[in-house]
Structure 1
Amino acid sequence: MKKFGFWKRKVSLALVFAMLQVSFLHIFAVTALAADGEPELDVKSAILMEASTGQILYEKNADEVLPPASMSKMMTEYLVMEAIHNGKLKWEDTATASKYAASAIGSGQLIAEGETLTIKDLFYAMSIYSSNDASIVLAEKLGGSEEGFAKLMNDKARELGMSEKAQFINATGLSRADIKENAPKSIQGETVMSAKDVAILARHLVTEHKEVLEYTKVPSKKLRESDKSPMINYNWMLEGNSSNVNFKKYAYQGLDGLKTGHTDEARYCFTGTAERNGMRLISVVMGAKTEPERFNQTRKVLDYGFTNFEFKTLAKAGTALDAQKTVPITKGVELEAPAVLKNDVAFAVKKGSADAKLETKVDLLAADKLVAPLKKGDKLGTATLSFGKNSETVDLVAENDMEKAGWFRMMMRAIKNLFVDLFNGVKGLF
């Protein structure tokens, strides 16, 4: 009997162990599925974009237009940085606060009427502290008035490829009810953008004016040296907050921007951007319920991107395409020029996936442009390489110098072509 009891206990333990194994395998499978699956977000809309290509990796109601609140200040940042780049403004230039700018409600409220500050200081205030007063001062400096600046914002929105529904009525993202008699008369409605519009704007900002990140990544800074307290960045997720006792639980590796937003209508919004292993992602969440949640939801989106995707070169500069290895040219010693890609073509691809295949479309220059002599690197046409819904167009260029043929060679070639045409013509008679 004792021997039977021993074996009974042994079988029972084996069964329990087997059941635990099954349970652990099930939990592991569910966990893996959750890790690979798209995030479930408690926001009105969201999007995740790879910055260099504009490739969309995740979206939720991304085309729905909503009030963006202070995220609209990214357009103010873009236009200021464009003016700096074009020489219309210098960082050392100054601007003086009007009565309207100084009276702006909401974030900021640091600048007095008649106070003069440099463009750089105003830009810091707008980027770090989401300063409405600084944004209006900058808008009046560039546009003559905030309404004039709003027209510049809308023109730029069309130029950058944002949707026709995207609209700005001011430099701050405040509503008509907030700015009352200062609301524009020539522009109706409110400031609205979709998550996709916001991501498009953010992408242009960080790729065309990357120096903006030198401002947005600053955790805190005094507006004036004489100020007792610094401006604290509303972006709790900055990597620079990793040692801040108040924000370190929100700090995110590689995150250096970009813009928060909040009004009663918009609720809590955030455009974040982070770079890891050579891949920069842009995330947008709109309509989060609380201030901490806009960052928690952003973490989910960015984690999904960095966990599941890697930035991979799918076609290297200097390589030929199977679809167009050579390009016909005229007046050359050779009548075909070897063609190669001028730049790398890279996309975000799922980690562990098989080598992705690109679809290729080639557009050559007109025949009168493909004439020897050609130098190495001269443009021969373009190649549009598509990966899923995403595509990138790069130049096709000459791999080598192509010499012009001498007059004797061209004369003999012409005689040959004449006889070939004549023979084909006679052949066609029979």
Structure 2
Amino acid sequence: MKHKTVKSSKRQLVKKSIASVILLNMLITSSLPLVVLAEAEISTTEATTTNSNSATTEVATTGIKIPDAASLGLQVKSAVLIEPTTGEVLLSINSDVALPPASMTKMMTEYIVAEQVKQGKLSWDQVITVGENAAATIGSRIFLAEGDQHTVEELYIAMAVGSANDATVALAEQVAGSEAAFVDMMNETAERMGMTTAFFINSTGLSRADMPEKFRPSEDRETVMSAMDTAILAKFIVQDHPDFSRFTAIQSHQFRERDTNPIINYNWMLEANKDITNFKAYAYEGLDGLKTGHTEAAGNCFAGTAERDGMRLISVVMGAETNAARFVETKKVLDYGFNNFEIQQVIAPKTTVEGTETVPVKKGVETSVAVVTDLDVQFMVPKGTQNPTITSEVTLMDAEELVAPLAKGTKVGTITYTYKIEGMSEAQEKTVNLVTAEEVEKGGWFRLLFRGIKQLFVDLFDGIMNLF
């Protein structure tokens, strides 16, 4: 902060002398106790805090260059890579284009069913009776018959592991009464999540023509969802249901004792497959979900997620040419993320903000209180970055609201930190609270009285000075 330099001059000395004489004269003739003088020792020039101010921290960075995503040579219609906690988009190729998602649609069904269980509206051991629509559904399935009974968990595993369309419809009908009503829930949830391109016509991802004719929607539309929207959906799954891999990482499952073959997970990239002869070439370290998809219209799709060294990434590829190609392309995308980026704590919790070390408090034992951030701030940065350039903007509460007593940890404002990776289109932002670092007790009436008297004389002194 810059301060104006006070220039010495005879004119200023004369002004100050006259003002001092006038003030001293008033004090001498006044009947006020001399304790006023003790409070008056405080400098008459006090720092004022505005409701909003900003400060930028400029520090040297390492200047690390991230490879262009085009260098990966991805053979897909669209792709995206995100880090869910910061929301940073690390790679984006046609990621906002709405495309048929095939069975990646089931991720929304999985999310809603898991939410129903979380909210106590369903239980994993609740028994579901299979209806006409589910029994008539074709494609990938476990051949449910109308009237069959299975638990929510059994059907959920069949959906998440074997991509069973009939199990998916049975779950949807249990939640909402009909698949059509469940589709309304899907579209409402998509809107709430901020998915801008997603539109669902069923719970499975089947094309309209492949649905049982009796249960097709009247509107001639198809399910669509962009790679970005799919990644957003995946983000909600891993954050709201961190136990998701309890289902998605299952390699195989015996649905019924009489079944000749178990359900095999279509996700060849599961880390657990590293010892399976047919899949070990595709197994990926840390990968534990999420969902494959394939229809003639969609091609081969895959929403994958993997965690390494405490960092989770979510990738989506759509429109790969072959079943195996979706996993080959996903490996390229995930490698790009893990090889080039890391999460870094850029602001520690309980940090003092330069320029906003304190805020004024009314009617307290003290006239100001120290403030700090309440939480830490983490950003995705290029791997190996040191001292990333972070900007910040402080917004403080109205000073009239900060009246003692104040408890330690009382919110007095917010600070928004911003960081942008060179070459990335979007900046990362995180807002945390500014809180009091200590308690402020209410001042006694005697202290407040003489503080008011002191302020009266300070204001009078300033007024006299301004006369000259």
1:401 counterpart = 2:439? yes
1:277 counterpart = 2:309? yes
- Provide the rounded CA distance (Å) in 2 between the counterparts of 1:178 and 1:36: 36
Paired position in structure 2 for 1:162: 195
Q: Are the structure 2 counterparts of residues 330 and 225 from structure 1 closer, same or farther at C-alpha, using a change threshold of 3 Å? A: farther
Q: Which amino acid aligns with 2:333?
A: V
The 8 Å contact of residues 323 and 360 in structure 1, kept in 2 or not, is answered as no
Shift of 1:423: 4.7
Q: Which amino acid aligns with 1:395?
A: N
Q: Are the structure 2 counterparts of residues 144 and 418 from structure 1 closer, same or farther at C-alpha, using a change threshold of 3 Å? A: farther
Indicate which of 289, 303, 318 corresponds to 2:321.
Answer: 289
Indicate which of 107, 127, 130 corresponds to 1:97.
Answer: 130
1:332 counterpart = 2:359? no
Q: Are the structure 2 counterparts of residues 417 and 137 from structure 1 closer, same or farther at C-alpha, using a change threshold of 3 Å? A: farther
- Provide the rounded CA distance (Å) in 2 between the counterparts of 1:403 and 1:67: 62
Paired position in structure 2 for 1:61: 94
**Count of aligned pairs between the two proteins:** 397
DSSP-derived class of the 2:275 partner: coil
Indicate which of 209, 222, 238 corresponds to 2:241.
Answer: 209
Larger radius of gyration: 2
1:410 counterpart = 2:442? no
Q: Percent identity between the aligned chains? A: 50
- Provide the rounded CA distance (Å) in 1 between the counterparts of 2:416 and 2:202: 38
Q: Are the structure 2 counterparts of residues 312 and 34 from structure 1 closer, same or farther at C-alpha, using a change threshold of 3 Å? A: closer
1:87 counterpart = 2:125? no
- Provide the rounded CA distance (Å) in 2 between the counterparts of 1:245 and 1:150: 39
User: Which stretch shifts more, 366-375 or 280-289?
Assistant: 366-375
* TM-score normalized with structure 2 length: 0.80
Q: Structure 2: give runs of 5+ residues left out of the alignment.
A: 1-64, 421-426
Residue by residue over 1:93-128, the C-alpha shift from the partner in whole angstroms, topping out at 9 and shown as x without a partner, is 222111111111111233221112111111111111
Q: Are the structure 2 counterparts of residues 168 and 241 from structure 1 closer, same or farther at C-alpha, using a change threshold of 3 Å? A: same
- Provide the rounded CA distance (Å) in 1 between the counterparts of 2:326 and 2:399: 55
- Provide the rounded CA distance (Å) in 2 between the counterparts of 1:227 and 1:373: 70
Alignment of 1:240-259 (within 5 A): 240-259=272-291
The 8 Å contact of residues 334 and 402 in structure 1, kept in 2 or not, is answered as yes
Indicate which of 270, 287, 295 corresponds to 1:263.
Answer: 295
- Provide the rounded CA distance (Å) in 1 between the counterparts of 2:121 and 2:401: 37
- Provide the rounded CA distance (Å) in 1 between the counterparts of 2:167 and 2:355: 54
The 8 Å contact of residues 129 and 232 in structure 1, kept in 2 or not, is answered as yes
- Provide the rounded CA distance (Å) in 2 between the counterparts of 1:379 and 1:225: 59
1:47 counterpart = 2:80? yes
Alignment of 1:228-247 (within 5 A): 228-247=260-279
* TM-score normalized with structure 1 length: 0.87
Q: Which amino acid aligns with 2:99?
A: L
User: Which stretch shifts more, 237-246 or 351-360?
Assistant: 351-360
DSSP-derived class of the 2:183 partner: helix
- Provide the rounded CA distance (Å) in 2 between the counterparts of 1:212 and 1:105: 26
Paired position in structure 2 for 1:7: none
Q: Which amino acid aligns with 1:267?
A: G
Indicate which of 374, 391, 399 corresponds to 2:429.
Answer: 391
Shift of 1:85: 1.6
DSSP-derived class of the 1:48 partner: strand
- Provide the rounded CA distance (Å) in 1 between the counterparts of 2:176 and 2:346: 44
1:190 counterpart = 2:222? yes
User: Which stretch shifts more, 215-224 or 260-269?
Assistant: 215-224
The 8 Å contact of residues 69 and 91 in structure 2, kept in 1 or not, is answered as no
- Provide the rounded CA distance (Å) in 2 between the counterparts of 1:52 and 1:218: 25
Paired position in structure 1 for 2:343: 311
1:134 counterpart = 2:167? yes
Shift of 1:73: 1.1
Alignment of 1:170-189 (within 5 A): 170-179=202-211, 180-185=213-218, 189=221
Residue by residue over 1:124-145, the C-alpha shift from the partner in whole angstroms, topping out at 9 and shown as x without a partner, is 1111111111111111111121
Q: Are the structure 2 counterparts of residues 422 and 143 from structure 1 closer, same or farther at C-alpha, using a change threshold of 3 Å? A: farther
Q: Which amino acid aligns with 1:373?
A: P
Indicate which of 351, 360, 380 corresponds to 2:412.
Answer: 380
Q: Are the structure 2 counterparts of residues 226 and 194 from structure 1 closer, same or farther at C-alpha, using a change threshold of 3 Å? A: same
User: Which stretch shifts more, 315-324 or 127-136?
Assistant: 315-324
Paired position in structure 2 for 1:115: 148
- Provide the rounded CA distance (Å) in 1 between the counterparts of 2:440 and 2:70: 52
Shift of 1:372: 2.6
Q: Are the structure 2 counterparts of residues 332 and 188 from structure 1 closer, same or farther at C-alpha, using a change threshold of 3 Å? A: farther
Shift of 1:354: 3.4
DSSP-derived class of the 1:210 partner: coil
1:72 counterpart = 2:117? no
- Provide the rounded CA distance (Å) in 2 between the counterparts of 1:34 and 1:412: 66
Q: Structure with the greater relative contact order (CA < 8 A, sep ≥ 6): 1 or 2? A: 2
Shift of 1:359: 1.5
Indicate which of 384, 389, 392 corresponds to 1:352.
Answer: 384
Shift of 1:362: 2.3
The 8 Å contact of residues 35 and 304 in structure 1, kept in 2 or not, is answered as no
Paired position in structure 2 for 1:4: none
Shift of 1:318: 1.5
Shift of 1:409: 2.2
DSSP-derived class of the 1:211 partner: coil
Q: Are the structure 2 counterparts of residues 266 and 324 from structure 1 closer, same or farther at C-alpha, using a change threshold of 3 Å? A: farther
Q: Are the structure 2 counterparts of residues 335 and 196 from structure 1 closer, same or farther at C-alpha, using a change threshold of 3 Å? A: farther
User: Which stretch shifts more, 406-415 or 130-139?
Assistant: 406-415
- Provide the rounded CA distance (Å) in 1 between the counterparts of 2:129 and 2:173: 9
Q: Are the structure 2 counterparts of residues 380 and 34 from structure 1 closer, same or farther at C-alpha, using a change threshold of 3 Å? A: closer
- Provide the rounded CA distance (Å) in 2 between the counterparts of 1:340 and 1:226: 63
User: Which stretch shifts more, 89-98 or 244-253?
Assistant: 89-98
DSSP-derived class of the 2:244 partner: helix
DSSP-derived class of the 1:285 partner: strand
Shift of 1:252: 0.2
Shift of 1:33: 9.5
Shift of 1:331: 2.7
Paired position in structure 1 for 2:42: none
